[in-house]
Structure 1
Amino acid sequence: MATETGDELAGVVDLFGALTRDELERALDELAFKRGEAADDGAVGDAVDAAIDGYYLVAVDREGTTLLAPGPVAFPSLPEGAEDLPHILDVPNREVDPGALVDPAERRLRADAAQAADAGDADRIERLLDVSYDLETWGSTDVSDVRSRLDDAIENRN
């Protein structure tokens, strides 16, 4: 599997509105097959984990199913061959209210920020500061208190 970026994974998900993790992994396997590449389940799983960890994808529970949708830092783009996926996969198009994504993304940011601040993880703190601005723009929410905590953690390290 070619290494898709977080934006490309968000683009694949965006083709369908939202996908389960299994559906996204199947889509990535199909892309690898179309390109004549060997599907590497470990690499696919790692790419999905990285996209979630990087806030390119947000997980939301919907009727007992966890769906992945494009997140606050994503600029969805399609990897080569992805435009054919809706014709290849038997996956329904799903509409997810963007407002339903804000709460889980904000909860996760708050938890990640607390963990990074407590650990004094400067790289993660800097990344989460960027995510906080993206989340505010994307979700029309206020996480300035999270930024204050992260800023305080940076100041206390110095």
Structure 2
Amino acid sequence: MDATADELAGVVDLFGGLTRAELERALSEAAYRADGQSVDGDALEVALEEARSSFALLEYDRADGDPLLVAGPTAFPTVPAHAEDVPHILDVERRRLDRDALGEQARVEFQDAVDDAVAASEDTTRLHDLLDISYDIEAWAPVDLADERDRLEAAIE
């Protein structure tokens, strides 16, 4: 099973958020139900990296356990085929997240991404992508990214 960023977001969104291990188990259950196959670990790693880079998934640090992967501001959560029963299979309660803390986490991750993109400013595609993502984050969480947008625009010029 090769999951897209939106499908990864769809699976974690079924629960409000999942740890990395829980997400892997959920995907394994869905893959087995789909065709008896398993999840390709390397493909999952690439998909997770792309989902995090595009802000379709965010990592939410919590005080009482491992970080959670949650659907991010650019995601269009889509439950993959054969994953609709995963909540009944996994013994994981739906999680309630602190939206303000999650917004702050998104802001910090975005600032880090801007720092990296500006440092490698020859990659104007990434700069433009982040400019677009800034608006998604602001619509999704109560944060102001105007300063980061100014930095991106200056790096593009």
**Are residues 1:94 and 2:92 paired?**
no
- Amino acid paired to 2:156: I
Q: CA deviation at 1:11?
A: 1.0
* Aligned position for 1:55: 55
- Amino acid paired to 1:153: A
Write the distance in 2 (CA, Å) between the matches of 1:72 and 1:29.
Answer: 25
Residues 104 and 143, structure 2, Cα contact 8 Å, conserved in 1 = no
Report the 3-state secondary structure (helix = DSSP H, G, I; strand = E; otherwise coil) of the residue aligned with 1:112: helix
Structural mapping, 1:1-158, within 5 Å: 1=1, 3-36=2-35, 37-63=37-63, 64-120=65-121, 121-155=123-157
- Amino acid paired to 1:51: A
Write the distance in 2 (CA, Å) between the matches of 1:39 and 1:112.
Answer: 28
Q: Which runs of 5+ in 1 are unaligned?
A: none
Deviations for 1:83-102, whole angstroms, at most 9, x for unmatched residues? 10011112222111222211
Write the distance in 2 (CA, Å) between the matches of 1:130 and 1:115.
Answer: 16
How many residues align? The count is: 154
Q: Which runs of 5+ in 2 are unaligned?
A: none
Report the 3-state secondary structure (helix = DSSP H, G, I; strand = E; otherwise coil) of the residue aligned with 1:46: helix
Write the distance in 2 (CA, Å) between the matches of 1:30 and 1:111.
Answer: 34
Q: CA deviation at 1:33?
A: 0.8
- Amino acid paired to 2:153: D
Report the 3-state secondary structure (helix = DSSP H, G, I; strand = E; otherwise coil) of the residue aligned with 2:60: strand
Q: CA deviation at 1:19?
A: 0.3
Percent of counterpart pairs with the same letter? 48
TM-score (norm 2): 0.92
Q: CA deviation at 1:66?
A: 0.5
Range 141-150 or range 32-41, more displaced = 32-41
Q: CA deviation at 1:4?
A: 1.9
Flag as ranges the 4+ runs of structure 1 deviating above 6 A: none
Q: CA RMSD in A?
A: 1.2
